[in-house]
């Protein structure tokens, strides 16, 4: 999942501590660099430039490049304005990047590159579009001003788990085989594989109707929820709710993804009851209440360590869902104001634990009182 793996990008401590400003650049910056013994050339716009010369550069595919000063061989800029690639150009680039056998399926907001059956790509595209509509409608109706994505949203769909794992291992490492899909903050892509097991084999199972039936089974629910969870992150970071590489607390971003992660696949709209109780997360949260530490809320809010520790991650996800659910239901005005504050955060500027807590208290008040109300409310959920 994106939080544990995609936020670990390659920046020097000097770059992290010496950010000068976010640069509103219109010209194209051309950077040649050496990384891991390879010569790389990147054209893009500067997102952040550090005092020591380090860069956060975004190329025309939307990929973010964190470049340390010692990697830079040369750089210059030209007078041509930076322009994101459109769907056709992104599709062409993906076909050049991926092995033979991949094809492209486009929807209103997505470019899906796949080597599974066309029906599965169509099913995924329709599901993602329903998610996009549900997500943007939900926040817009609550007064949050979102915007259209600057780039088409990209998903890579592999026919088999093994080919997916081979592609993903450079980002996920040993965890690859345990995760059916993920969102990469760096590349801005969702990467996944065919959950039906049908791969690219034609036949009855590859019709859209049969895919829906197959993935509506109880045994498939959590895998589908994971894909939706990761696709929710992609929409979050492309429509103005959050900014990539900004210091968004994981209890917020993961809690929101948990809030949307389980669709009704039998519905043509997919999300008839947004905000209904996530029973998987609720059960996990209640299972851990007996052993919940007195400072659990404080540790959840102040840093992201519980999400990154495999021993505590599942409990952290559950508590993140429960806290977001509680705040949305019982403190909606304060929650929306807090989200507006987070939306203004810029890349690579990090709050320390006390600053995170202060920002939360400013929005919601005393932690002890809130914790008492939070537990009282969640204990009665069914």
pLDDT in tens, 215-248: 878 778 888 889 999 999 999 999 999 999 999 9
At 142, which CATH number? 3.40.30
Q: Are residues 237 and 94 in the same domain?
A: yes
Domain boundary pick from 15, 48, 81: 81
Q: Which of 135, 376, 128, 133 is nearest to 275 (CA)?
A: 135
pLDDT at 15: 46
Res 44 pLDDT > 70: yes
Q: What is the rounded CA–CA span in Å between residue 94 and residue 89?
A: 9
pLDDT at 175: 82
pLDDT at 270: 56
DSSP class of residue 290? G
Q: Are residues 164 and 228 in the same domain?
A: yes
Res 143 pLDDT > 60: yes
Q: Are residues 110 and 236 in the same domain?
A: yes
Q: Model-level pTM?
A: 0.91
Res 170 pLDDT > 50: yes
Q: What is the rounded CA–CA span in Å between residue 264 and residue 270?
A: 5
Residue 352 covered by a domain: yes
- CA distance between the termini of the chain: 27
Res 10 pLDDT > 70: no
Q: Which of 175, 259, 177 is nearest to 5 (CA)?
A: 175
Q: Would you place residue 2 in the very low, low, confident or very high pLDDT band (cuts 50, 70, 90)?
A: low
Phi-psi region of 348 (alpha: psi -120 to 50; beta: other; left: phi over 0): left
Q: Are residues 351 and 295 in the same domain?
A: yes
Q: Are residues 225 and 178 in the same domain?
A: yes
Name which residue leads in pLDDT, 273 or 245.
245
Domain extent, residue 148, equals 87-241
**Which of 179-188, 206-215, 367-376 has the lowest average pLDDT?**
206-215
Give the C-alpha distances (Å, rounded to integers) separating 373 from 7, 39, 68, 121. 32, 56, 46, 44
Domain boundary pick from 65, 81, 97: 81
Q: Taking the CB of residue 221, how many other CB atoms lie within 10 A of it? A: 15
Element (H, E) at 156: strand 153-158
Residue 337 covered by a domain: yes
Q: Are residues 145 and 180 in the same domain?
A: yes
Residue 67, beta-bridge partner list:
55
Give the C-alpha distances (Å, rounded to integers) separating 32 from 57, 211, 332, 363. 12, 45, 48, 44
Residue 212 covered by a domain: yes
Residue 45 covered by a domain: yes
Q: What is the rounded CA–CA span in Å between residue 253 and residue 259?
A: 10
Strand, coil or helix: 140: helix
Q: Are residues 24 and 70 in the same domain?
A: yes
pLDDT at 48: 95
Average pLDDT along the chain: 89
pLDDT tens readout for residues 79-92: 889 999 999 999 99
At 27, which CATH number? 2.30.30
**Which of 191-205, 281-295, 318-332 has the lowest average pLDDT?**
191-205
Name which residue leads in pLDDT, 257 or 176.
257
Q: Are residues 30 and 158 in the same domain?
A: no
The total number of structural domains that make up the chain: 3
Residue 370 covered by a domain: yes
Residue 248 covered by a domain: no
Residue located via tokens 């939360």: 360
Q: Are residues 192 and 329 in the same domain?
A: no
Determine phi and psi for 291, rounding to 5 degrees: -105, 10
Domain boundary pick from 81, 107, 128: 81
pLDDT tens readout for residues 300-347: 999 999 999 999 999 999 999 999 999 999 999 999 999 999 999 999
């Amino acid at each position: 999942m994106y939080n544990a793996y995609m936020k670990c990008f390659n920046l020097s401590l000097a770059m992290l501590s010496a950010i000068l400003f976010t640069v509103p650049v219109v010209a194209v910056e051309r950077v040649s660099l050496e990384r891991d013994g390879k010569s790389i050339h990147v054209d893009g716009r500067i997102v952040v430039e550090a005092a020591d010369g380090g860069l956060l550069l975004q190329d025309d595919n939307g990929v973010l490049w964190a470049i340390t000063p010692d990697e830079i061989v040369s750089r210059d800029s030209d007078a041509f304005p930076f322009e994101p690639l459109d769907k056709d150009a992104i599709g062409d680039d993906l076909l050049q990047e991926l092995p033979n056998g991949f094809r492209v399926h486009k929807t209103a907001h997505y470019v899906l590159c796949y080597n599974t059956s066309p029906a599965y790509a169509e099913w995924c595209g329709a599901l993602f579009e329903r998610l996009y509509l549900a997500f943007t409608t939900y926040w817009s109706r609550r007064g949050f001003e979102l915007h259209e994505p600057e780039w088409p949203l990209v998903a890579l769909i592999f026919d088999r788990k093994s080919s997916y794992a081979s592609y993903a291992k450079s980002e996920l490492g040993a965890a690859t085989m345990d995760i059916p899909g993920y969102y990469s903050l760096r590349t801005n892509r969702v990467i996944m594989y065919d959950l039906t097991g049908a791969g690219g084999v034609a036949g009855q199972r590859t019709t859209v109707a049969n895919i829906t039936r197959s993935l509506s089974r109880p045994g498939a629910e959590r895998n589908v929820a994971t894909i939706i969870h990761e696709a929710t992150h992609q929409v979050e970071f492309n429509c103005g709710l959050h900014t990539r590489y900004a210091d968004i607390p994981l209890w917020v971003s993961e809690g929101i993804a948990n809030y949307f992660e389980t669709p009704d696949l039998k519905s043509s709209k997919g999300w008839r009851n947004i905000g209904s109780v996530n029973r998987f997360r609720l059960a996990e949260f209640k299972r851990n209440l007996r052993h919940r530490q007195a400072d659990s809320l404080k540790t959840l809010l102040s840093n992201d360590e519980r999400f990154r520790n495999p021993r505590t991650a599942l409990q952290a996800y559950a508590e993140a869902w429960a806290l977001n659910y509680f705040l949305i239901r019982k403190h909606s005005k304060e929650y929306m104001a807090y989200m507006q504050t987070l939306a203004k955060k810029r890349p690579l500027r990090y709050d320390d634990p006390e600053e995170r807590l202060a920002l939360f208290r400013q929005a919601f008040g005393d932690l002890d009182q809130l914790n008492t109300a939070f537990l009282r409310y969640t204990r009665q959920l069914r």
